[in-house]
Amino acid sequence: MQEFLTVSALNQYINRLLENDELLQDCWLKGEISGCKLYQQSGHLYFTLKDEESAVSCVMFKSRVRSLKFKPQDGQEVLLRGSLAVFGRQGRYQVYVQEMQPYGVGGILLLLERLKKDLESRGYFAPEKKQALPALANRIGIVTSQDGAALRDMVRILKQRHRRVDIILVHSAVQGAEAPRELARGIALLNRFAQVDIIIVGRGGGALEDLMAFNTEEVVKAIYESQIPVISAVGHEIDFTLADWAADLRAATPSQAAQLAVPDMSALEQELLNRQKRMQRALERRLAYWDECLDRIMGKKLWHEPEALFKDKWELWQAKRESLIKLAQATLKEKENRLALAARSLDALSPLKVLERGYAVVSREGHIVKSGGETQIGDRLTVALNDTDLQVVVESKERKLRYG
């Protein structure tokens, strides 16, 4: 029995295919509005978007219509973002519009300003989140088209400035519907595998529409989340994209990005050589100065007649020594004289001198007897003469009269 699909099953299958396609679920379209009609009862907006050769049906629901900043009209060229799905009842696909802006520079700028404010409010452009570039980068990752002149310029300048630099290229479309996804994927791949020092993401110049890939939330988010410092290098000096706001450093051109990424090694080597020469000359001057100082020191008399250094000190010491000896001798002589005088005075008062003159000292049991009243008949006394001691006994006492 032959298998078949119902019409509903076919439409459902096609719808699932569309829903699983990342590009078709969030894409930008440009075209001219035709058959525009706003249903007052539902508030939904229906129209056809067409170009010179084709057309596609579009619907914008009431909740999205309220956010419009302009009134859509037939013949108006617009830029819209939406997703594709099959309207099963009629078996045709249509675009479900999420947002829409008038096309042209003014419309795009308005769209970008709104997106910039939204991303800024979420911290994607915060200055404190910026990473500093390494002073010396030896491996550079580049996310750009492998066929673009911008890549050739960057490679040429990188090699001129740093001939040993490693360059890792992740090819990506730089415009068109696939570009945002490929650019974001390239940044993520370099963060995951390449171990590069700096990432350069960019492209050469072009119209504002050509640079729109770098004005997408997908690319801005990838730059913001990069753990490796990112240099944006989009277009010419006057071009400015949201990627520039998110990057750690903005370069006016791809060529300038290459200059900012790596130092001029030739200039650094020359500067290093110059500094080495200056250091050598300074060292030579210093050594010459100390040589001269040493020569002057060695030429002094001290090194030929070292005793001259101590002669004056020795003479001064000798003079002080002699002076000290004389002072000590004079002091000693004075002390000896005073001692002799004291000895003579003491000798004159000595009891022995008295005994030599015929006097005696009477004592009893070690105590001096000064008068007869201190003795009694029968007391044994000791009489000390000049040359001997006599032991006597008191037999009588005779009182002497004193004459006044």
Rounded-to-integer distance, Cα 228 and Cα 131, Å? 8
With b for 16 or more beta-carbon neighbours within 10 A and e for fewer, the 299-323 pattern comes to eeeeeeeeeeeeeeeeeeeeeeeee
Closest CA to 66 of 44, 47, 84: 44
With b for 16 or more beta-carbon neighbours within 10 A and e for fewer, the 64-88 pattern comes to bbeeeeeebeeebebbbebbbbbee
| Under-50 pLDDT residues of the chain | 1, 404
Rounded-to-integer distance, Cα 293 and Cα 298, Å? 9
Rounded-to-integer distance, Cα 227 and Cα 220, Å? 14
pLDDT for residue 254: 93
- Rounded to an integer, what is the distance from CA 288 to the centroid of its chain? 39
Rounded-to-integer distance, Cα 341 and Cα 343, Å? 5
pLDDT for residue 131: 94
pLDDT for residue 70: 80
Rounded-to-integer distance, Cα 370 and Cα 145, Å? 144
Largest Cα–Cα distance of the chain, in whole Å?
191
Rounded-to-integer distance, Cα 32 and Cα 161, Å? 49
Phi and psi angles of residue 186, each rounded to the nearest 5 degrees, phi first: -60, -40
Element containing residue 97 per DSSP (H, E) = strand 92-102
pLDDT for residue 232: 94
334-371 pLDDT, tens per residue? Answer: 888 888 888 777 776 666 666 666 677 788 887 887 77
pLDDT for residue 46: 93
pLDDT for residue 356: 66
pLDDT for residue 272: 85
Question: What pTM was estimated for this model as a whole?
Answer: 0.51
Residues of the chain by 3-state class (helix, strand, coil), percent to 5? 45, 20, 30
Rounded-to-integer distance, Cα 215 and Cα 319, Å? 100
Contact assessment for residue 174 and residue 213, using Cβ atoms and an 8 Å cutoff: yes
Contact assessment for residue 234 and residue 243, using Cβ atoms and an 8 Å cutoff: yes
pLDDT for residue 400: 64
For residue 307, what are its two tokens? 């005793």
What residues contact residue 236 under an 8 Å CB cut-off, 6+ apart? 205, 252, 253
Rounded-to-integer distance, Cα 387 and Cα 360, Å? 10
Rounded-to-integer distance, Cα 52 and Cα 312, Å? 117
Per the document, the length of the chain is 404
Rounded-to-integer distance, Cα 341 and Cα 63, Å? 137
Contact assessment for residue 48 and residue 34, using Cβ atoms and an 8 Å cutoff: yes
pLDDT for residue 126: 93
Rounded-to-integer distance, Cα 326 and Cα 76, Å? 129
Contact assessment for residue 158 and residue 261, using Cβ atoms and an 8 Å cutoff: yes
Contact assessment for residue 225 and residue 248, using Cβ atoms and an 8 Å cutoff: no
Rounded-to-integer distance, Cα 402 and Cα 404, Å? 6
pLDDT for residue 176: 83
